[in-house]
Amino acid sequence: MTAAFHPGATTVLDSVLFRDAFGTPAMRAVFGDLAYLARCTEVEVALARAQGRLGVIPAAAAAAIEQHASADALDLERLRRETDIVGYPILPLVHQLVEQCGEAGRWLHWGATTQDIMDSAVVLQLRAALALVEADIAELRRLLAALALRHRDTPMAGRTHLQQALPTTFGAKAAVWLAMFDRHAERLAQLRPRVLVGQFAGAAGTLASLGEQGLAVQQALMDELGLGVPATPWHVARDGLAEAVNFLALVTGSLGKIALDVMIMASTEFGELQEPYVAGRGASSTMPQKRNPISSELMLAASKAVRQHAGLMLDAMVQDFERATGPWHAEWIAVPESFVLSAGALHQARFMLGGLEVDAGRMQRNLGLTGGLIVAEAVMMGLAPHLGRQPAHDLVYAACRDAVQQGAPLAQVLQRRPEVTAHLDAAAIERLTDPARYLGQAPQIVDRALARSAAQGRG
């Protein structure tokens, strides 16, 4: 067994087999144990530095804490054992940091409570994690904008209820995808001030242990950490973290929608799209011809998992009094897993959309599968000024039924009906039954989406 394999791994997030399919090294680094302990230590040191500056603790003690407190020097096995006993990692962490700092250690964690440190550390993680998400969204917007522009005028069948409905363009479909991620970029900018807010309020949220200096210490600590100052303690008001995870659910939900479109369009019967070719990717162990849409499958799976965590975060908002008796712990599961899964899905989307193969010829052939039935609306609207909308609808409906039963093109059936030819000549019928002539405003919708996306900026 090689050193890379860890027999204790039990989830796709830590499995050496699956972790890079469902996550990324960069996001795992943000939420790994060592990174978390480093963020907790960062908060403890920032607190000492803030209190030393305000004279709450001796300046020399604050300097010694800053110099000696080190997450890298922690005895992790001892920390694990004590955390298992206490139930939280902060008291065991403080024990070791106090020892590291010698005499100055008596001033460490002054006036703080466990959740102050843990919550602020998580917010520091969120700040780094959201920066990674932002970069991925910016790149996806660039890829989708290029796709929409390149295929602005590429006609294809638009589908509703899995049936061909009306013609559209593949560029218009990509523009819909782009607009979703434009909105996600906007949401991300809006949620940051609400989510990136630190926590420091003491045992029951009153800062009583620091007397009149409590709010000043809180402000100074947040200045040190570069975080927002809370209007009130949020020990049991968890809407900020719930918003962050539900934002990820929206992002991965959009990825899931794109993935589903791509998977169906890549099916043999459609054949309109293919994920980028990589030798062996998506291969079957028994069917040599297979080229499965692996990235789309992973995106869809991640969207379902993050959705579940979003619900868990909403449930965890219901907390009792000034310190919860359990819901908080659910966040320890949902927050890191949601971010790692989202990062994995975004990574798969960047790969897939960056090399997506679009078969415009197959789209054109599929557009002609119904022999003109896909533009029956155009014929109806062409007849409506002469007959009225409903009579025209009924006439074309009957003609469509005849075309299906006879296996004939719609234009041919229409040309045999006097009530049609009385108003439309053969050229008009051919024009109205040509799908490429009934794209509506699809190309112009692409133009508008691209203009709005460019005006918003893509990072």
Q: Which residues are catalytic?
A: 161, 284
| DSSP SS3 for 65 | helix
Record the tokens describing residue 309, joined without a space: 């965590």
Give CA–CA dist 248/132, Å, rounded: 12
Q: Can you tell me the distance from the alpha carbon of 292 to that of 263, in angstroms, rounded to the nearest whole number? A: 9
> Taking the CA of residue 351 as centre, how many other CA atoms within 13 Å lie in the half-sphere pointing to its CB?
20
- Dihedral angle of Cα 413, 416, 421, 426, to the nearest 10 degrees: 70
Tokens of 55: 């004279």
SS3 for 316?
helix
Interacting residues of 112 by C-beta distance below 8 A, sequence separation 6+: 44, 47, 200, 202
Environment class of residue 257 by beta-carbon count within 10 Å: exposed (0-12), middle (13-18) or buried (19+)?
middle
Contact 396, 383 (CB under 8 A): yes
For the chain, first and last CA: distance in Å? Answer: 44
Sign of CA dihedral 11, 13, 16, 21: positive
CB-based burial of residue 277 (10 Å sphere; 0-12 exposed, 13-18 middle, 19+ buried)?
Answer: exposed
- Between CA 38 and CA 114, with CA 197 as vertex, the angle to 5 degrees is 50
Residue 319: closest CA among 331, 335, 301:
331
Nearest CA-CA partner of 458 in 150, 145, 248, 173: 145
Query: CA-to-CA distance for 406 and 399, rounded, in angstroms?
Result: 10
Cα–Cα dist 138/144, whole Å: 10
Q: Closest by alpha carbon to 49, among 99, 123, 5, 108?
A: 108
d(CA 445, CA 456): 17
Locus of tokens 């065991």: 92
3-state secondary structure of 68: helix
User: Which helix (H) or strand (E) segment is 332 a member of?
Assistant: helix 327-354
